[in-house]
Amino acid sequence: MKTQIKLTQYKVFSLAALVLSFAMIAGLNTANAQSEAAKTSLLSNVVKASDQTTIKGNVRDNTGPLPGASVALKGTEIATYTDKDGVFVFPQDLNPGDILVFSYLGYKTQEIVIKEDTTVLRIVLEEELIDILESVQVNKPYKSKRKGS
Amino acid sequence: MKFLVHLLCLVFACHVSAQVSDFDHINFRKADSTALACKDEGLTNLTGLASRLTSNLDTDVERFRAIYIWVTSNIENDYGFFLKNKRKRKRYKNDSILLKNWNDRFKKDLFSKLLNNKKTICTGYAYLIKELSVLADINCTIVQGYAKTSTTNLDNLDTPNHSWNAVQLDGKWYLCDPTWSSGLINPDNNQFTFQYNNGYFLAEPRLFIKNHFPADTKWTLLGDDAPTFDDFLESPIIYGKGFSNLALHNTPKKMHNTVRKHETVTFEYKLHKFINTEDVVIVLDRGVKNRTIKPSPTIDKDNTLTIEFEFDQTGFYDVHLMIEDDYISTYTFNVKK
């Protein structure tokens, strides 16, 4: 399950990069404002893979950016949090194979394995689908309902 | 030879259900003090918290123990908040849009309360145990289902009302209820008091099923021996102190019983540890006044507590078993001529 998520994440990423470079090479500069905006935001986050292992990115849910989500290096206490726009820059350079854990109370935790060419991570956290239930312990003995009492 | 021993252990293990006594050889002192040392930690960095709670411990059961003790001794039960939710749900019952809006808002509020005030309700406890366990590479899940206490209205128990956890340790699944381990609600003012109850930590599934019936029956952990939902509804009430004192509840099997005057009724339990027979008391409540009886029980070598009892008067009784002034279990007896 986890591997699947990672793979999909990775694939989407490479695909996005591929499309972007293709668009640039072909010089297909469309007038479409939307795709222009998308390209700019992608470009601003892309860091050259070869000489950097600084990881940055953003975290969102299905409604928008998620501020205050925690991004932590698995097995350590090194962590950072997303800012008000859901953006983070991890405070320590990472090596391939390191695992970043994205979590936020009420959302399913996601683990991402850092690959050699990982630089930007765009994470969509899924809400934990839970029913809010409650049953508490009381220190009160059972009492039968009796007629007339 | 070694293989044979392993095989024997395996065969044996399959026949014994999963419970805390599987780990009698492990001393939890280190795990408990690790949890205590993290007392002032917040929940903003769950990964860091999981790491601080578990990285110095050697076994999964100790790591899980540290998480369980931390959650049950640091997270407060916010019952008043839940009651507010219950009122709103009732009000919006017939308006699905308003209900959904409220639910979404409530869920956000719930998690922000947990984050900022370390207060929650049972779903939050089970969620936190699961999250911290998964971060420590321990397989753990939230179980939703039906819970029964002395104050539960069984006529309304048509949808799940409680959440707890199942955790996999050394390949075996175990049950626990962090909400009920953490403390008690005062029914008069809905205030919560921390009072750790170890009886719900890796509880014996055959005892746990008396007041926890999972929506998905695989989480009874009893396989083909799992009782039905009706069996669950009909089983006696067992209190928190019942879980700290009893390893198993054998008889009476049902909450409501009809017997004849002078018929012998057997109360039989397996105890976690030896207790003084002097401390065992039966309270008969006929509605207006209580009669307390010292039943002269027997406790045999394997800690089975047996009480042979007969009613000497007809009538309808609430019958409470008490040990050292604590309520253990309750039944009703309709005693006929």
- Decide: A92 and A106 in contact? Cβ < 8 Å: no
- Per the domain annotation, does A64 fall within a domain? yes
Residue A72 and residue A36 share a domain: no
Say how far apart CA B140 and CA B125 lie, in whole Å. Answer: 13
- In this structure, the answer to whether residues A62 and A110 fall within a common structural domain is yes
Answer yes or no: do A43 and A79 share one domain.
no
For B11-39, write each residue's pLDDT tens digit. 444 445 678 888 988 899 999 999 999 99
The CA distance from B101 to B105, in Å, is 6
A128 interaction partners in chain B (CB closer than 8 Å): 127
Is A12 a member of any domain? yes
The predicted structure's pLDDT at residue B14: 44
- Going by pLDDT thresholds of 50, 70 and 90, the confidence category of residue B276 is very high
Contact B142 A103 (CB under 8 A): no
User: Which tokens in the block code for residue B214?
Assistant: 């999972």
Condensed to tens digits (0 to 9), the pLDDT of residues B82-125 reads: 788 778 877 887 888 888 888 778 877 888 888 888 988 878 89
- Judgement on whether residues A20 and A70 belong to the same structural domain of the protein: no
Residue A73 shares a structural domain with residue A101:
yes
Instruction: Output B36 or A43, whichever has higher pLDDT.
Output: B36
Tokens of residue B281, six digits: 């008391």
| Alpha-carbon distances, residue B103 vs A133, B93, B110 (angstroms) | 12, 11, 10
A135 occurs within a structural domain? no
Residue type, B319: V
Contact yes or no for B249/B337 (Cβ under 8 A): no
Does residue A139 fall inside a structural domain?
A: no
Q: What was the pLDDT predicted at B16?
A: 52
Are A73 and A99 found together in one domain? yes
Residues A112 and A104: beta-carbon distance below 8 Å: no
Same domain, A63 and A119: yes
Q: How far apart are CA B255 and CA B238, in angstroms?
A: 10
Give me the number of domains chain A comprises.
2
Alpha carbon A42 to its chain's center: 16
Place B8 in a pLDDT band, splitting at 50, 70 and 90.
Answer: very low
- Lowest mean pLDDT segment, chosen from A12-16, B64-68, B203-207: A12-16
What does the pLDDT average to over A64-76?
A: 89
Closest listed residue to residue B325, CA positions, set B277, B268, B272, B279: B279
What pLDDT does residue A38 have? 44
* B40 Rama sector, left if φ>0, alpha if ψ -120 to 50, beta otherwise: alpha
**Chain A residue numbers touching B89 (CB-CB < 8 A):** none
Interface residues of A toward B, Cβ cutoff 8 Å, are 68, 70, 72-79, 81, 101, 103, 105-106, 109, 127-128, 130-144, 146, 149
- Of residues A4 and B79, more confidence is placed in B79
User: Which pTM value belongs to this model?
Assistant: 0.80
Complex-level ipTM: 0.81
Parallel, antiparallel or unpaired: strands A99-103 and A110-113: antiparallel
Q: How far apart are CA B272 and CA A5, in angstroms?
A: 45
Q: Any residues with CB less than 8 A from the CB of A32 and at least 6 apart, and which?
A: none
Q: Which domain holds residue A20?
A: 1-51
Q: Which helix (H) or strand (E) holds A33?
A: helix A33-45
Q: Do the Cβ atoms of B208 and B19 come closer than 8 Å?
A: no
For residue A78, is it within any domain? yes
Confidence of residue B263 (pLDDT cuts 50, 70, 90): very high
Indicate the average pLDDT of chain B.
90
Co-location of A120 and A61 in the same domain? yes
Could you count the other beta carbons within 10 Å of the beta carbon of residue B324? 13
Based on the fold, state whether residues A68 and A47 are members of the same structural domain: no
Q: Is residue A95 part of a domain?
A: yes
Contact A135 B122 (CB under 8 A): yes
pLDDT value at position B100? 81
Q: What is the pLDDT of residue B3?
A: 52
Residues A10 and A32 in one domain: yes
- A vs B, Cβ pairs < 8 A, gives 146
User: Does residue B164 sit in helix, strand or coil?
Assistant: strand
